[in-house]
Amino acid sequence: MDAPTVSMDVRHLDGGTAVVDIKGEVTSACEPELMSAYDAAAGSETRRLVLNFTGLEYMNSGGIGMLVTLLVRTNRQRQQLAAYGLSDHYRQIFELTRLDEAITIFEDERSALSASAHG
């Protein structure tokens, strides 16, 4: 199997929010990277996890499946899961797969964090 070409960096922000900056290709092969990013992001203080897809280059159906696994983990910890930076193409895929009903989508980081502050 090819090595995943993705990086996932975690930023902890005030108010119990953590942002995961995703850059590269999201496929099922990068599940270990996503789950380590989640472990780094989801401390006991974290109430909200925000995925930054601005650097997303490619995603296949395996990548979408992996997001469901992440969603289950956040639900279990009573954490909210949100996303921003999706291009029109990937936003439509979120709508088609009805992932947008479980993962709140924002235009940019500012609106995602603003909703976080008020949520």
Partner 1 sequence: MTDIAGPERAPGQVELSAKEADVSTRRDIGSWATKVDRLAVDPERAKAGFNIAGKRLSGPQQGFGRLRQRTYTVDLGPEVTPQQVIGAWKADFGSFWPKGNVFQGALTGITPGDVAPIAVNAAGGIKLSTGVFVLYSDDVSFTFMTPQGHMFASWITFAAERRETGTVAQALLLLRTSDPLFELAFPVMKVMEDRFWKQTLANVARSVGVAEPVVAEHTTIVDRRRIWKNWRNVWHNAGIRSVLHLLAAPARALRSRGPA
Site residues (vs partner 1, CB under 8 A): 1, 23, 53-62, 64-65, 68-69, 71-72, 75-76, 85, 87-89, 92-93, 95-99, 101-102
CB atoms within 10 A of CB 92: 12
Quickly list H helices, 21-108.
Answer: 31-41, 61-76, 88-96
- Shortest separation between residue 24's beta carbon and partner 1, angstroms: 10
- Shortest separation between residue 115's beta carbon and partner 1, angstroms: 20
Cα dist. 65→45, 91, 117 in Å? 27, 15, 29
Place of tokens 């995943």: 4
Cβ atoms of 6 and 26 within 8 Å: the answer is yes
Secondary structure of residue 64 in the 3-state scheme:
helix
Give the residue with the Cβ less far from partner 1, 97 or 104.
97
- Shortest separation between residue 61's beta carbon and partner 1, angstroms: 4
Give the residue with the Cβ less far from partner 1, 23 or 47.
23
- Shortest separation between residue 78's beta carbon and partner 1, angstroms: 12
Give the residue with the Cβ less far from partner 1, 16 or 93.
93
